[in-house]
Amino acid sequence: MAEKFDVIVVGAGPAGTSCAYTLAKAGVNVLLLERGEYPGSKNVMGGVLYRKMMEDIIPGFYKEAPVERLIVEQRFMLLDEKSAVTFSYKGLEWGEEPYNNFTVLRAKFDQWFAEKAVQQGALLVNETVVTECLVENGKVIGVRTDRPDGDLFADVVVLADGVNSLLAKSLGFHKEFRPDEVALAVMEVLKLDRKIIEDRFSLEQDQGCTFEIFGDATKGILGTAWLYTNKDSLNIGVGAMLSGLIKNKIKPHQLLDYVKKHPIIRPYIQGTEQQEYLAHLIPEGGYRSIPKVVGDGVIVVGDAAQLVNAIHREGSNMAMTSGVLAAEAILEAKAAGDFSASMLDSYRQRLMDSFVGQDMKKYKDATHHFEKYPHYFEKYIPLMNRAASQMFTVDGSSKWEKQKKIWRELGSAKEKWKMARDLMQAWRVMK
Amino acid sequence: MLHIVACIKQVPDTKIIKMNPKTNTMDRSSAPAILNPYDAHAVEEAVRLKKRYGGTVSVLTMGPPPAVKAIRKCIEIGADEGYMITDRAFAGADTLATSYALTKALEKIAKEKPIDLIICGKMTIDGDTGQVGPGIARRLDIPPLTSVKKVVEVNKQQGYAIVHRKLEDGYEVIQSALPCLFSVEKEINEVPYSPLPNMLRAARYQPVIWAVSDLEDVDRTLLGLKGSPTIVAKVWPPEKPKGGEMLEGSAQQQVERLMEILQQKQELFAGKEARA
């Protein structure tokens, strides 16, 4: 006889574990299923974990969790072939409690987080793949796994099975993604002595910094590269829209090689030793790509629900919040003894009212806009670099002359008009 | 009804472990801890015998508290009970001291429920000695059957077991009195993908945990570092061969180049050609 749980959560990433943790803490009999050897073994992200949403779940978690460095500086680089315009904010208030964000290595962090859920009473089973949801009269009543005697029942199944969410797809919640709805990211963890990291990036002990790199890093394709500092390693990666990669016939690892060899980036990663190579899809379709997230006896959270804010590199925090909100809706449903879609719909409402839904809505057109008009990346970033070079190169010509030259470089009146319109457009989709 | 005890160990995964170049010791943090692969076959064989003859499978390990994970892995495979002895006094044990500590735990288990058969893996992948199994058998004064690659029969009523022992050029069929100890080869079985109910049971399972003070008649001087006459004078990783030549091109080209090298360096075929 197959066992029955109150709730089965599929996938022990930030969304699934947050959900399982919250439910277990409330005394719910919850099973957390993970396909990897251990939670985190198959999970990939650039490396930034925001404090707030995690702390809503476990106050003061950073005192014991395996976090790498406290981020005190965020740099934004607009990269051209041999130059970069860089903006940066360094704030030492981020180095003190309450911190803003941290770098983490997911293999370590997710394992720790799942262990916390187990301590709350969740049951964790690894190395088990859920192959389908068991459905009866249109209601999800459990899951089938790839193991012998592998069926299990539950009042609610939470799908936290990641970007591809084959389970939500098989329920008809979403279709196969279009290449302009997902980004493909590749990343390397590069080993480097912690003292060298601190010297190279002007950091004190435990402090860290992040680079977001736009422009030439993705050869004009919509995407970003990043460079983050861990304790004794660096994360360097690049992610670009799948559609752009296909159109430009560039393989992501070629892009990463290009970034690593880029004359502006190269000095930062000198003397490192490659430790890990990771690749993953990122759901970047935004608000319009959010699938159906609630059905009878089933809820979709995290990447599986496409909850990523590509503009602000936020994802794991949204995943966590969605997991908690799902748990809250389930607790309510449990109290009412009703696990129908209309009851569980309170999850969708909570989600849309939260910062997750609001931010998704705010940027609903952003990625699509930049995808549609590649000249933001192809043209304006190099232009900014040339303007900066022109202005700051001392060659005997007056600053007035320089300004005139830059103005001329912007092109004809028609082109300037177009640029002004583009800037307006960009403002409109971002505001 | 048989009572079979499998002795197991949690080891660092030596396939990926790194050596500390300064101290020449294993950097245990660089590799995940796993159930010693040979021991998985030992547990699987115990579970198969249980299915064949009925009975109980217990597993026993000595190790630090995280070794509970290795016991859970055995529960996944199908073991019924797990025992762990853990104590600072066990630290630094070589195979002599380890077999002594395990023997004391086996005696305690046998007091509750007499043991018919003990199964160990051929060896651990971090020590490679294969001494603990025979060490236990010697201390318990039961026959050790090493290199077992097949169990033909275990007959509790008549008190014997028949196995195939792997030899360099074949195998021998051996009959032994029960109780006895097997240490098994990898080829004895394949460990299947565990059924889900086992996974759930393992995730919930809490083994019996004993410290030295829970064991009886223990001579503490025979435990841990004190009880270990082995001295590791030096450990070093094998020197990596340098230089060499990577053969490239089509299979044909590679073979031609290889022949060229063999002829040049070893003059292997030179004589033959000269004769021809």
pLDDT tens string for chain A (431 positions)? Answer: 689 999 999 999 999 999 999 999 999 999 999 999 999 988 888 899 999 999 999 999 999 999 999 999 999 999 999 999 999 999 999 999 889 999 999 989 999 999 999 999 999 999 999 999 999 999 999 999 999 999 999 999 999 999 989 999 999 998 888 888 899 999 999 999 999 999 999 999 999 999 999 999 888 788 899 999 999 999 999 999 999 899 989 998 999 999 999 999 999 999 999 988 999 999 988 898 999 999 999 999 999 999 999 888 899 999 999 999 999 999 999 999 999 999 999 999 999 999 999 999 998 888 778 877 777 778 888 888 988 998 899 989 898 898 888 888 888 888 888 888 888 888 888 77
Mutation target to probe the A interface, by most A beta carbons within 10 A, among B199, B201, B204, B206 is B199
Give the Å distances, CA to CA, from B45 to A20, A225, A256, B183, B202.
Answer: 36, 51, 48, 11, 18
CA dist., res. A53 & res. B275, Å (int): 83
| Residues of chain A contacting residue B13, judged by C-beta atoms under 8 Å apart | none
CA dist., res. A124 & res. A132, Å (int): 19
Cα A359 vs. chain centroid, distance in angstroms? Answer: 14
- Choose the closest CB to A147 out of B32, B196, B203: B196
- Choose the closest CB to B199 out of A38, A147, A151: A147
- Give chain A's end-to-end CA distance (angstroms, integer): 55
Residue B52 dihedral angles phi and psi, to the nearest 5° = -75, -45
Domain ranges of chain B: 2-222, 243-276
CA dist., res. A248 & res. A417, Å (int): 28
Residue B271: the pLDDT is 58
Tokens, residue A364: 């609903």
- Is B214 a residue whose pLDDT tops 90? yes
- Choose the closest CB to A124 out of B32, B195, B203: B203
CA dist., res. A13 & res. A303, Å (int): 9
Nearest CA in chain B to A115: B203
Percentage of chain B exceeding pLDDT 90 = 75
| Residues of chain A contacting residue B65, judged by C-beta atoms under 8 Å apart | none
Contacts of A81 (CB under 8 A, 6+ apart): A216, A382
Task: Provide the CATH number for the domain formed by B2-222 in this structure.
Answer: 3.40.50.620
Tokens, residue A75: 């740099």
- Is B170 a residue whose pLDDT tops 80? yes
- Choose the closest CB to B200 out of A37, A38, A123: A123
Pairing mode, if any, of strands A151-159 and A182-191? unpaired
CA dist., res. A173 & res. A159, Å (int): 11
Angle at A84 between CA A83 and CA A86, to 5 degrees: 160
Angle at B54 between CA B51 and CA B58, to 5 degrees: 85
Rg of chain A in Å (alpha carbons): 23
| Residues of chain B contacting residue A125, judged by C-beta atoms under 8 Å apart | 196, 199-200, 203
- Choose the closest CB to A125 out of B32, B193, B203: B203
In terms of Cβ atoms closer than 10 Å to its own Cβ (0-12, 13-18, 19+), residue A76 is middle
| Residues of chain A contacting residue B197, judged by C-beta atoms under 8 Å apart | 3, 149
B195 contacts A124? CB cut-off 8 A? no
CA dist., res. A240 & res. A256, Å (int): 11
B38 Cα to chain A: minimum distance (Å) = 19
| Residues of chain A contacting residue B200, judged by C-beta atoms under 8 Å apart | 3, 31, 123, 125
Longest dimension (CA), chain B: 78
The amino acid present at A335, given as its one-letter code, is: A
Q: How confident is the model at residue B267 (pLDDT cuts 50, 70, 90)?
A: low
Cα B29 vs. chain centroid, distance in angstroms? Answer: 21
- Choose the closest CB to A152 out of B193, B196, B204: B196
B204 contacts A128? CB cut-off 8 A? no
A149 contacts B196? CB cut-off 8 A? yes
Q: How confident is the model at residue B270 (pLDDT cuts 50, 70, 90)?
A: low
Which residue, A292, A314, A316, A398, is CA-closest to A359?
A314
| Residues of chain B contacting residue A149, judged by C-beta atoms under 8 Å apart | 195-197
B195 contacts A123? CB cut-off 8 A? no
| Residues of chain B contacting residue A112, judged by C-beta atoms under 8 Å apart | none
- The complex's ipTM works out to 0.85
For B169, the 3-state DSSP assignment is: coil
Task: Calculate mean pLDDT across residues B90-115.
Answer: 95
Task: Calculate mean pLDDT across residues B206-227.
Answer: 95
- Is B213 a residue whose pLDDT tops 60? yes
Q: Evaluate whether A166 touches A133 at the Cβ level (below 8 Å).
A: no
CA dist., res. A315 & res. B88, Å (int): 44
A42 Cα to chain B: minimum distance (Å) = 15
- Choose the closest CB to B196 out of A37, A38, A150: A150
Nearest CA in chain B to A128: B196
Tokens, residue A208: 């860290």
Tokens, residue B227: 């009880």
B195 Cα to chain A: minimum distance (Å) = 4
A3 contacts B197? CB cut-off 8 A? yes
Tell me the sheet residues that pair with B162: B153, B175
B195 contacts A145? CB cut-off 8 A? no
| Residues of chain B contacting residue A119, judged by C-beta atoms under 8 Å apart | none
Mutation target to probe the A interface, by most A beta carbons within 10 A, among B29, B69, B196 is B196
Cα A389 vs. chain centroid, distance in angstroms? Answer: 33
